[in-house]
Amino acid sequence: MSTNRTFTMIKPDAVANGHIGAIINDITSAGFKIIALKYTRLTAETAGAFYAVHRERPFYNDLVNFMSSGPIVAAILEKENAVEDFRKLIGATDPSKADEGTIRRKYAKSIDANAVHGSDSDENAAIEGSFFFSAFERF
């Protein structure tokens, strides 16, 4: 994946609360192009593998349970400066600390159920995009 791409998930809380359309609209309105898009569901095993980097964190088990609790939407997005600009668009991890107008501020209720994921580096964007999409799906 080139460096002008990032990876996102619309998390189970935002899917369950009916925010898929509004969140995709916010993303495309901010200038991101959708390269790949998938409605799917993580198991405890695949969520655990996706978040393996957080294995030692105290919230790891809760995070894995939450992320496998319902369907999600996974997407690869393209824009100049994608990783940094997307982190700005979603806002801080804790929605109560996220700036007004950010996706987490608008659609998230708590630090764990925080509506969206956004890759934190170009390297992780490539790894995470490949986790969900084959080379054939992310041209």
Q: Binding ligand IDP by CB under 6 A: which of 20, 24, 63, 127?
A: 63
State which residue, 45 or 137, has the beta carbon closest to ligand IDP. 45
Piece of 15-23, 55-63, 68-76, 124-132 that binds ligand IDP (CB under 6 A)? 55-63
Strand partners, 77: 6, 34
Name which of 128, 8, 10, 119 is nearest 70 in CA terms. Answer: 10
Q: Would you say 87 is a known binding-site residue?
A: yes
DSSP 77-110: EE-TTHHHHHHHHH--SSGGGSPTTSHHHHH--S
Residue 114 in contact with ligand IDP, rule: CB under 6 A: yes
* Residue 59 counted as an annotated binding residue: yes
Measured between alpha carbons, how far is 127 from 111 in angstroms, rounded to an integer? 24
Annotation marks residue 19 as catalytic: no
Among residues 117, 119, 129, 132, which one is catalytic?
117
Positions annotated as catalytic residues are 117
Interaction site with ligand IDP (CB under 6 A): 59, 62-63, 93, 111-112, 114, 117, 120
